Amino acid sequence: MKRTLIVAAAALVLAAGCKDKKTMENPFFSEWNTPYEIPDFSRIKTEHYLPAFEEGMRRQKAEIDSIVNNPEAPTFENTVLAYEYSGQLLQDVSGVFFNLSECENSPEMEAIAEEVTPMLSAHEDDIALNAALFARIKAVYDQREGLNLSPEQRRLLEEHYKGFVRGGANVPEAQQARFRELNEQIASLTLRFAQNVLKATNAYAKELPDGSKVTLDVPTWEPFMQSCTDRKLREEVWHAYADRCCEGEFDNTKIIDTLVNLRLERANILGFPTHADWVLDDCLAKTPANVYSCLMDIWEPALKVAKQERDIYQKMLEKDEPGAKLQPWDWRYYAEKYRVEKYAIDDAEVRPYFALDSVREGAFMVANKLYGLTFKERTDLPTYDKEARCFEVMEGDSTVGILYMDFHPRASKRSGAWMTEFRGQHRTLDGRNVMPIIQVVCNFTKPTADRPSLLNFDESETLFHEFGHALHGLLSNCTYPSLAGTNVPRDFVELPSQVMENWCRHPQVMKMYAHHYQTGEAIPDALIEKIAAAQTYGQGFMTTELLAASLLDMDYYSIKEKQAIDPLQFEEHAMQKIGLIPEIISRYRSPYFQHIFTTGYDAGYYSYTWTAILDADAFSAFAESGDLFNPELARKFRHLLASGNTVEPMELYRQFRGQDPSPKALLVRKGFVPAK
């Protein structure tokens, strides 16, 4: 309480325009005096965030008040553009704080997040529910046919109008207090959920007989599950991973129960029967029925193949342990064993050719051949951690943007891999282009004293995937911040990332970048053929666990009535309903399913499959042309990347492909149907 009062007092001083020493020292209150206006990480301290958040909210409130109180009639310029460019300080501090809280977390950062999250929720509601502001935007929207707007201006107007409606602008006054309360509670619960998962993941480390240890970070957990011959030990470590946050100190089950019901109530207030209906109304899929149909089209062939895989592994287990029944903790072990036997290939043979730096250079090479980009490492630019590498992205002599790549696990970093931005590309009101500052974060095994970080092939695809997101941000060429880069519907945003995986796995491209970390020898043709032959191997399992998670997500957010939810029972029923075999579980069990409970993929996890159809279809255009770097197709796809959300996404896709996407390429790629 004392700290809160001190911060509040400081905010009052700022509001009065008094520049005391403490205020002047806060780096957020002045322009970054750094190359390319990169955040001045070395000067930013934890005590700077709260004052900056509060001042950012105060400034944006003043900007909104200025729009609302403008005596002139509403116009695109004095209302829509003024709103679009409001809140710059708040965006700056949010862009630093929330990105670093994901990869440089600490008890101090957690405390700030807990304090500022409800403040931000209330601030956002103050804007979304500002009747006078919405009235001015609606007045411009209603006149849109006669305003002679450019296509991008029209898109901005339409998106802001839709955003206000979706954000509650039409919520009856009698329900607005409850609506605000719901938003605040949802924001706080998602934060607690994420913190519990991080703490539970960091809390486990199993000492092994050889002196090493296994943790729940996937880069160490999965290789252990693939190689451990001790079945009881596999079972113990599997349960440690799969039962996280199910009970005890970091229990997330009650949070799920509350969160799902709160989101349903909010959707009802907004006029939608379910939370999924509300989410999908702003996506390409549009309705839950369309999502279920898409997923089930892939589910049936995937489950059929998964059952065939199960039967193979069951026989292998019986040879080792007569009478034993295959369990989830056996799957990865026997899948890897069979892969080695069938394809005469194992990770130990593959990894030396996929050193992290080689794979990264491979991704850079593809971007160069497609788009003419080059990547120059800069050790002189500001960075937030000694492990984060910084690259200046160039096209010819011009700088396109800045790319940070942060590859290895830390206790302060959440698990998984993601792309985000410290600053998105856009143009200022006076037309100056603001270049993007992009961040790619992964969790690959750290190098040792005598060898670099060596990736398995899945991890190599992960790097290409996140780099694809980065290209979407780096190649953005839009005017307005809210339409630029990756600010596209969720079931379209994965296209630029997933399509890059196709180049990663293509034999011709692999030959260009996969070199032995010791000898420099290019990967042998025989090994490329083994990897290529194994591409469809295990797709039953991988696709089934992904679809199971996607269907579980949809089930949570398709409920139509408030109900008591036991997530473990709910999950079990959802898996039984679709016929998931007991040897496989959902890719993420509910209590640690961060995509749908914290990171914005609620009723949206299906988008990985939805866009897999797009990416397979898109890459087939390059493959069918006979040139994987076809200049004309690359130019068209770059236009798709550069356009952000300035054009309806499926129209962008049709402009590139010349037709609607077909799922056939995906089914062929996974080996579910023959190529011809």
Would you state the pLDDT for residue 305?
Answer: 95
Lowest mean pLDDT among 2-11, 127-136, 627-636: 2-11
At 219, the pLDDT band (50, 70, 90 cuts) reads confident
Q: Return residue ranges of the chain for CATH 1.10.1370.10.
A: 244-283+292-341+538-676
Could you tell me if 67 and 136 are in contact, meaning their C-beta atoms sit under 8 angstroms apart? Answer: yes
d(CA 41, CA 385): 9
d(CA 194, CA 200): 10
d(CA 492, CA 483): 14
At 338, the pLDDT band (50, 70, 90 cuts) reads very high
Would you state the pLDDT for residue 24?
Answer: 59
Residue 642 has pLDDT above 80, yes or no: yes
pTM: 0.84
* Percent of the residues in the chain that have a pLDDT greater than 70, as a whole number: 96
Query: What own/partner pairs with CB < 8 Å and gap ≥ 24 does 160-166 have?
Result: 160/80, 160/83, 160/84, 160/482, 161/137, 162/282, 164/128, 164/133, 164/134, 164/137, 164/138, 166/270, 166/278, 166/281, 166/282
CATH 3.30.1330.10, applies to 244-283+292-341+538-676: no
Measured N-to-C along each axis, helices 288-320 and 539-557 cross at an angle, to the nearest 10 degrees, of: 140
Q: Return residue ranges of the chain for CATH 1.10.1370.40.
A: 2-170, 352-522
Amino acid identity of residue 346, one-letter, is: D
At 600, the pLDDT band (50, 70, 90 cuts) reads confident
At 23, the pLDDT band (50, 70, 90 cuts) reads low
pLDDT tens column, 493-506? 999 999 999 999 99
pLDDT tens column, 233-267? 999 999 999 999 999 999 999 999 999 999 999 99
Average pLDDT for 607-615: 92
Residue 613 has pLDDT above 80, yes or no: yes
At 345, the pLDDT band (50, 70, 90 cuts) reads confident
Residue 15 has pLDDT above 60, yes or no: no
At 639, the pLDDT band (50, 70, 90 cuts) reads very high
371, 375, 425, 365: which is closest to 643 by C-alpha? Answer: 425
At 346, the pLDDT band (50, 70, 90 cuts) reads confident
pLDDT tens column, 512-535? 999 999 999 999 999 998 888 888
Residue 627 has pLDDT above 50, yes or no: yes
Cβ neighbour number for residue 630 with a 10 Å cutoff = 17
Residue 8 has pLDDT above 50, yes or no: no
Whole-number average pLDDT of the chain? 93
Cβ neighbour number for residue 673 with a 10 Å cutoff = 13
Buried b (16+ CB within 10 A) or exposed e, 269-284: bbebebbbbbbbbebb
Would you state the pLDDT for residue 3?
Answer: 29
Fold of the domain spanning 2-170: Neurolysin; domain 3 (1.10.1370)
Residue 458 has pLDDT above 70, yes or no: yes
Average pLDDT for 166-171: 92
Q: Which of 466, 494, 501, 583 is catalytic?
A: 466
475, 452, 436, 486: which is closest to 361 by C-alpha? Answer: 452
At 22, the pLDDT band (50, 70, 90 cuts) reads low
**Phi, psi of 606, deg, nearest 5:** -60, -20
Catalytic site includes residue 249 = no
Could you tell me if 138 and 161 are in contact, meaning their C-beta atoms sit under 8 angstroms apart? Answer: yes
Residue 14 has pLDDT above 50, yes or no: no
**Phi, psi of 102, deg, nearest 5:** -85, -25
Fold of the domain spanning 352-522: Neurolysin; domain 3 (1.10.1370)
